[in-house]
Amino acid sequence: MNLDDDLYREIILDNYKSTRNRRALESPVFKQEGVNPSCGDDIELYLKSDGDEITDASFEGVGCSICIASANMLCNAIKGMHVDEAEALVDRVKGMLTRDETPEFPEGAEDLEAIQGVAKYPVRIKCALLSWNTLHRLLEEVRGGTPAGDT
Ligand code: ZN
């Protein structure tokens, strides 16, 4: 258990420090802001999609380590996913953090297990879920068709 905690802490730190996904995407792009006032997390999530598949994802903004690490894992996980798969993943992450479920994460999304420990700290759950709630709203926009981002 302690070994896992150390490993998970390392995964969160690596994702927090990663800059690979921290950039804006050129329009046309789907984008949504997500704000968590209780912590000060404020991110902008960008998504590119051909209508079925998510072709690129990135984010910008400020946030605590949990918020940023979770957003980075999100971007890594959903690139190349079908919109429905991404929506299913949102539900799995929510299930893990709010319904005490132990989900099976698809290949490429295994890092997400590392944020499971956050479920023990109710105030941090919002930090971890911020990007996922934002993604949920974005996916509805993708289903609607046209990017609302500046064109
Ligand atoms: Zn936070």
Q: Give the sign of the dihedral formed by CA 23, CA 86, CA 78, CA 29.
A: negative
Q: Write the pLDDT tens digit of every residue in 63-118.
A: 999 999 999 999 999 999 999 999 999 999 999 999 999 888 998 899 999 999 89
Distance in Å, CA 151 to ligand 1 centroid: 31
pTM above 0.85, yes or no: yes
Residue 97 pLDDT: 95
Distance in Å, CA 146 to ligand 1 centroid: 31
Q: Write the pLDDT tens digit of every residue in 11-64.
A: 999 999 999 999 999 999 999 999 999 999 999 999 999 989 999 999 999 999
Distance in Å, CA 83 to ligand 1 centroid: 26
Distance in Å, CA 96 to ligand 1 centroid: 18
Residue 1 pLDDT: 47
Q: Give the sign of the dihedral formed by CA 130, CA 60, CA 70, CA 89.
A: positive
Q: Write the pLDDT tens digit of every residue in 111-133.
A: 999 999 898 888 999 999 999 99
**Quick one: which H or E segment has residue 135?**
helix 122-144
Q: Please list, in sequence order, all residues whose beta carbon lies within 8 angstroms of the beta carbon of residue 57, skipping any fewer than 6 positions away.
A: 21, 45, 46, 47, 48, 74, 75, 78, 79
Q: Where are the domains of the chain?
A: 6-144
- Tell me which of 3.40.50.300, 3.90.1010.10, 3.40.50.410, 1.10.3720.10 is the CATH number of domain 6-144: 3.90.1010.10
Residue 117 pLDDT: 87
